[in-house]
Amino acid sequence: MTLPGDLAKEIARRRTFAIISHPDAGKTTLTEKLLLFGGAIHLAGSVKSRKANRHATSDWLAMEKERGISITASVLNFDYHGFRINLLDTPGHQDFSEDTYRALTAADSAIMLLDNRKGVEEQTRKLFNVCQRRRLPIFTLVNKCDREGEDPLGIIDDVHRDLGIRAFAATWPVRVNGRLVGVYDRADERVILYDTSSDHGQSRPTFNVVAVDDEALDERLGKKGAATLRDEIALLTEAGEPLDPAAVARGEATPVFFGSALTNFGIDVLLERFLAAAPAPVARENGKGLVDPITTPFSGFVFKVQANMDLKHRDRIAFLRVCSGRFEAGTDAIIGRTGKTLRLAQPQEFMARERSQADDVVAGDVVGLHDRGHLRVGDTVAVGEVMEYPGVPRFSPEHFSQVRLGEPMKRKQLDRGLQHLAEEGTILLLYAPSITGPVPIVGAVGRLQFDVLTDRLEREYSVSIRLEPLPYHCARWVTGSAPEANEIAALHGRRMVEDVDGHPMILFDNEWALQRSMSQSTDVEFHDVQPKTRR
Ligand code: G4P
């Protein structure tokens, strides 16, 4: 039996977050450093060998390896300096952004990574906006400062103007002849000078901490270099945005750190500050009110389902974010969507390619549950009461294809495979009525999802299909007057279909046609996320 105080203590050390960035900003490198410093992995050999291993943390799908992209959003669970970390891995490729958006619903905070030569990029902007909608505290790391890049104040200004969030320098890069040698830590008014002769990012660099007016600074940076740094610091203090931790907690400001995930310079300061200030799980809205993470019995929601993670076992894992209480295997919980009872099985935790039984799972944790087809993305599971956490988004696809089966005898396998993969959220499965029976149509936010579908159907269900592209580019779920919806769908460049839950949807050949229909209709409502399934 666990004491409530013990539960509160456990929950307080949970940090559940994601790293958001545009591809190539250094997310994989930073993730590895977290694992390395946390003692969760041991890197041998040179940094260069990293490339071969770079997808080691989320390469469940063979395709990921073949293409060198990260497809599945997964989680890494590990301990770091007394904190229990649940790091949500977000796929970098934009075709899988839907997975990423969903993973963000499970996060309590985020680290936003920028390339010091590029500042805010397209994917950063999109992911930032998703985080902002939930007012998640966001900490910014301007990465790759081991090479020269844009002026630090220019990047801070870019964050402020482009993303519309107040940004202030939390650290400041210290350079000698253009080379990064340390960072100035504004909160503690200290300069951290790294040993530049240490190995190349394989371990924590050794460093000296000196005060701003310490003579050691003049020795290390030279008189001129030290004077420049002191001027910059004076300017920051007088004219820069002040440090404002309270605004960060409210998601209204972001502290900007400078560093290099490659050489580790400035990374310790970021992690130390981030883990201390990032929120432990807080109360979440479940539609009826706030759910306290400590006093409410177990509840959580599924943000991802992954079928066939291990082909040998043909198993299906539902990734669950625990929102309150403690997970007790063997207890009966209720699935909010169906009202059915689910006996909680032993949860799994993840580290690189390994999974193991999770020990003490409490609010904030993200674990995998073996699922026999009862759970879907967006489902809430709770002990003692029917609950439904809102907010796992299902996005309207932008690409559509009709599924043509290679071997007609395999229709059953096809339907099963399509259904499983649709339940994962890999694709949106739709059916168009026809005289020979419903015709399967698949929709995806990004085209690569189609390749994943074809590949997985072949590999996991032995079904070969051909996808015939359809000329539609947007879709909306429709509710309201069915006759009017049918009239709209009968117009040129439109088509009526149904999703697997029987919700009607209209496909449109372009955004203009959609806008026109929306402005002209009187009794039909259009939705870009799936309307709630009624029980
Ligand atoms: P991603 O997951 O965000 O896509 O980025 P990833 O970590 O894979 O890094 C992308 C490239 O940027 C890699 O180079 C990586 O070494 C480099 N990089 C990451 N952090 C830093 C940094 O702090 N400084 C510098 N200078 N480079 C950094 P690559 O050439 O694509 O791969 P590799 O041969 O170095 O492995």
Task: Name the residue among 386, 295, 294 with its Cα closest to residue 333.
Answer: 386
pLDDT digits (tens, 9 = 90+) for 472-529: 999 999 999 999 999 999 999 999 999 888 899 999 999 899 999 999 999 999 987 7
* Average pLDDT of the segment spanning 209-226: 91
pLDDT, mean over the chain? 86
Give the residue, by CA position, lying nearest to ligand 1 atom 26. Answer: 144
Q: How far apart are CA 345 and CA 328, in angstroms?
A: 9
Distance from residue 352's CA to the centre of ligand 1 (Å): 19
Structure confidence at residue 68 as a pLDDT band (50, 70, 90): very low
Least-confidence region, from 31-45, 435-449, 458-472? 31-45
Q: How far apart are CA 420 and CA 439, in angstroms?
A: 17
Give the residue, by CA position, lying nearest to ligand 1 atom 6. Answer: 26
- Is 92 touching ligand 1 by the criterion CB < 6 Å? yes
- Is 25 touching ligand 1 by the criterion CB < 6 Å? yes
Residue 5 has pLDDT above 90, yes or no: no
Looking at residue 34, what is its pLDDT? 83
Residue 91 has pLDDT above 80, yes or no: no
Residue 300 has pLDDT above 90, yes or no: yes
Q: How far apart are CA 227 and CA 51, in angstroms?
A: 40
Pocket-testing residue among 24, 64, 76, 124, ligand 1, by greatest number of atoms within 8 A of Cβ: 24
Residue 113 has pLDDT above 90, yes or no: yes
Pocket-testing residue among 43, 58, 262, ligand 1, by greatest number of atoms within 8 A of Cβ: 262
The larger pLDDT score, comparing residue 89 to residue 379, is at: 379
Q: How far apart are CA 441 and CA 475, in angstroms?
A: 12
Q: In terms of DSSP bridges, do strands 380-382 and 399-405 run parallel, antiparallel, or are they unpaired?
A: unpaired
Looking at residue 201, what is its pLDDT? 66
Question: H or E element: which one contains 87?
Answer: strand 83-88
Domains of the chain, first to last: 15-74+91-277 (3.40.50.300), 284-382 (2.40.30.10), 399-527 (3.30.70.3280)
The larger pLDDT score, comparing residue 403 to residue 35, is at: 403
- Is 115 touching ligand 1 by the criterion CB < 6 Å? no
Complete edge-to-edge strand list for the sheet that includes strand 207-211: 171-176, 179-185, 190-194, 207-211
Looking at residue 206, what is its pLDDT? 81
Looking at residue 101, what is its pLDDT? 81
Looking at residue 43, what is its pLDDT? 54
Ranked by mean pLDDT, which of 69-83, 187-201, 204-218 comes out on top?
A: 204-218
Q: What is the largest CA-CA distance in the chain?
A: 86
Residue 482 tokens read as: 């069915």
Structure confidence at residue 58 as a pLDDT band (50, 70, 90): very low
* Average pLDDT of the segment spanning 212-237: 92
SS3 98: helix
Residue 308 has pLDDT above 80, yes or no: no
Contact 167, 256 (CB under 8 A): yes
Give the residue, by CA position, lying nearest to ligand 1 atom 11. Answer: 24
Residue 332 has pLDDT above 70, yes or no: yes
Structure confidence at residue 425 as a pLDDT band (50, 70, 90): confident
Rg (CA), the chain: 25
* Average pLDDT of the segment spanning 402-427: 87
pTM for this prediction: 0.83
Looking at residue 92, what is its pLDDT? 59
